[in-house]
Amino acid sequence: MNSNENDLRLLKKVRSVLDERAEQLDDTTCNRLRMARQQALKQQSQRAIGWQFPAASFATAAVVVLALGLWMNQPEQSVFTPTVMDDMELLSATDELEFYEELEFYQWLEIENDAA
C-alpha cells in the first residue's frame, strides 16, 4: 500500500467517527454550535463588505484615469482626409454622372485646344 491509500483510509475512518459523534450531540450543544456558526458567518460578511467598497472604488478610479490618459494622449486625426473630401464632393455634386465618366476625354480635348 502506498501513502495515498493509507491517507484515504485514515480520512474515511476519521470522518465516520466524527459523523457518529455529531449524531450523538445533545440539543443544547447543537443549538450553541449553530448560533456560533451564524455569528461567525455574520462577522465574516461584515468584514468582507468593509474592504470591498474601497477596493472597488480604487479599481474604478484607476480605470477612469487610465482611459482619460490614453484618450488625451492620442494624436488628433482628421476624419476628412483630402481623398475623402474629393469623394464627398463627387457624390454630392449635382452634375451628371456622365460628365465624370467622360472627364478624361474633356481633359484631352482641352489639351488639344491649347496646343492648336
Q: What is the pLDDT of residues 28-87, one digit of tens each?
A: 998 999 999 999 988 877 666 666 677 788 889 999 999 988 888 777 766 556 676 677
Main-chain phi, psi angles of 81, to 5 degrees: -80, 165
Q: In the structure, what pLDDT confidence band is assigned to residue 89 with cuts at 50, 70 and 90?
A: confident
Q: What are the percentages of helix, strand and coil residues in the chain, rounded to 5?
A: 85, 0, 15
| pTM for this predicted structure | 0.33
Per the prediction, the chain carries an average pLDDT of 81
- pLDDT, one tens digit per residue, over 5-26 is 889 999 999 999 988 888 888 8
Please work out, in degrees rounded to the nearest 5, the angle formed at the alpha carbon of residue 45 by the alpha carbons of 43 and 50.
95
